Amino acid sequence: MTDRIVLREEALEASYVPESLPHREAELKLLRDRFAQAATGKRGWSQLLTGGIGSGKTVMAQKLQRELASARYGNYRTLYVNCWRRNSDRTVLLELLKGVGYPLPDRGYSLPEMVDTLEAGLRRVEGNLLVILDEVTSLFRQGTRLVYLLTRGPEVGLGRLSLLLIAPQDVLPLLDPATRSGFGVTHRLHLPPYSLEALTDILLARGEAALRPGSLSPDVATQIARVAAPQSDARLALELLEGAARRAEQRGGSEIGAEDVRWAKASLYPTFTEGKLEGLSPHALLVLLALARTLKSPGSWVGLDRVRSTYATVAEEFGTQAQSRVTFWRTVKALEREGLVNVDPQGPGQAAKVSQDEMPVSLLELVLQERLGRAGPRLS
């Protein structure tokens, strides 16, 4: 009987709203303060929130919705609409009408009639209302009029209505000048991309909520973050974490290991193709094989000197002379340029470290042995 690693599956799911949002606390506070202040001043506030894929826009909006519901921040009621599938003013309005308890059939009403009905519905809402339109880009592409109406809430009789628009990129150029004028600098917030350290902290925090204590080490969290860091994508990082945790459970392990992460990476995001090995010299293949074998020890990094001594053995095994230290180092750097290995930025000489997160090392070893075997017993 092996221990389970994933104890609270829901804490890894996209819909889960975590206790804390590391590296987004300041932005969340800023938004909360703006809407809370608007509530005190009895005026609506329009806000645009942008950021890359998996940068935490939706989860921040969910968190904001919960916080603003408290009396302390204005007793907001929220209507959340994801506009990705409802990409016209009409369909979004229908959704809002349902939200205020005045559903209309989707035919037979003009846009102004629908807005009038929304107005009637809003009059019944006590206090403040926040409308969140997520993934709003397609609405802008359709030349929306609704957004303009919603930003002018008080003037057009829509009462104390606040608006939070969410989009992956800067959508302002898609807006007509009148609507754009409602989104001056203080009405815009762009989320900076997550760094490697930020992704590591996010993984550790979500891991703490979802996994058995002690099953996710900081080293493994950093390894996962390293894979997701080029895209700065927290969603990708969490998917990898779940994949690696499942793999560790399957093999009966009690904690997530570096090889589990490589398996998760290879099965969820297979970017490693054998084609990448095609252009490599036999010595580069031997260095990779040495790396694969050395990486079988726990941990995601190994010292370069250990790889080099394995390399000497591997070269002998394939009947060839090992390259000099300098040429060996050059080959490692070439493999790094190909995206096949990572070299720890610590300078060479003082125990540089290397890793390989693209593919399970057990698989990589097989592929390389097969390829080198085909090259004949003696390599030149």
Ligand X SMILES: Nc1ncnc2c1ncn2[C@@H]1O[C@H](COP(=O)(O)OP(=O)(O)OP(=O)(O)O)[C@@H](O)[C@H]1O
For ligand X, the binding residues in 68-97 under the rule CB under 6 A are none
Q: How many residues bind ligand X (CB under 6 A)?
A: 21
Decide: 52 and 168 in contact? Cβ < 8 Å: yes
User: In the set 50, 55, 200, 331, which binds ligand X (CB under 6 A)?
Assistant: 55
Nearest approach in angstroms of CB 256 to Mg ion is: 26
Decide: 285 and 371 in contact? Cβ < 8 Å: yes
Residues 244, 232: Cα–Cα separation, whole Å:
19
Q: Is 56 in the site for ligand X (CB under 6 A)?
A: yes
Residue nearest ligand X, CB atom distance: 56
At how many degrees (to 10) do helices 111-124 and 89-99 cross? 20
Nearest approach in angstroms of CB 18 to ligand X is: 5
Residues 180, 379: Cα–Cα separation, whole Å:
66
Give backbone dihedrals phi and psi of 378, rounded to 5 degrees, phi first.
Answer: -115, 130
* 91-114 exposure pattern, b = at least 16 Cβ within 10 A, e = fewer: ebbbbbbebbebebeeeebeeeeb
Strands laid side by side in the 161-167 sheet: 77-82, 129-134, 161-167, 46-50, 188-190
For ligand X, the binding residues in 221-250 under the rule CB under 6 A are 234-235, 238
Nearer to ligand X, 21 or 322 (CB): 21
Tell me the DSSP string of 42-56: T---EEEEE--TTSS
Q: Is 50 in the site for Mg ion (CB under 5 A)?
A: no
Nearer to ligand X, 38 or 166 (CB): 166
User: CA angle at residue 224 from 242 to 241, to 5 degrees?
Assistant: 5
User: In the set 18, 159, 193, 299, which binds ligand X (CB under 6 A)?
Assistant: 18
Stretch that binds ligand X, among 16-24, 28-36, 113-121, 240-248 (CB under 6 A): 16-24
Q: Which does 168 bind (CB under 5 to 8 A by kind): Mg ion, ligand X, none?
A: ligand X
Nearer to ligand X, 53 or 277 (CB): 53
* Backbone φ/ψ region at 355: left (φ over 0), alpha (ψ -120 to 50), beta: beta
Nearer to ligand X, 54 or 153 (CB): 54
123, amino acid identity = R
Stretch that binds ligand X, among 13-21, 65-73, 222-230, 345-353 (CB under 6 A): 13-21
Q: Which does 99 bind (CB under 5 to 8 A by kind): ligand X, Mg ion, none?
A: none
Nearest approach in angstroms of CB 197 to ligand X is: 12
Stretch that binds ligand X, among 15-23, 299-307, 348-356, 364-372 (CB under 6 A): 15-23
Q: Is 202 in the site for ligand X (CB under 6 A)?
A: yes
Residue 249 Cα distances to 5, 7, 83, 204, 246, angstroms: 6, 11, 38, 18, 5
Cα–Cα nearest to 79, from 98, 105, 63, 58: 98
Nearest approach in angstroms of CB 165 to ligand X is: 13
Residues 98, 103: Cα–Cα separation, whole Å:
4
For Mg ion, the binding residues in 51-70 under the rule CB under 5 A are 58
Tell me which residues touch ligand X (CB under 6 A): 14, 18, 21-24, 51, 53-59, 168, 202, 205-206, 234-235, 238
Tell me which residues touch Mg ion (CB under 5 A): 58
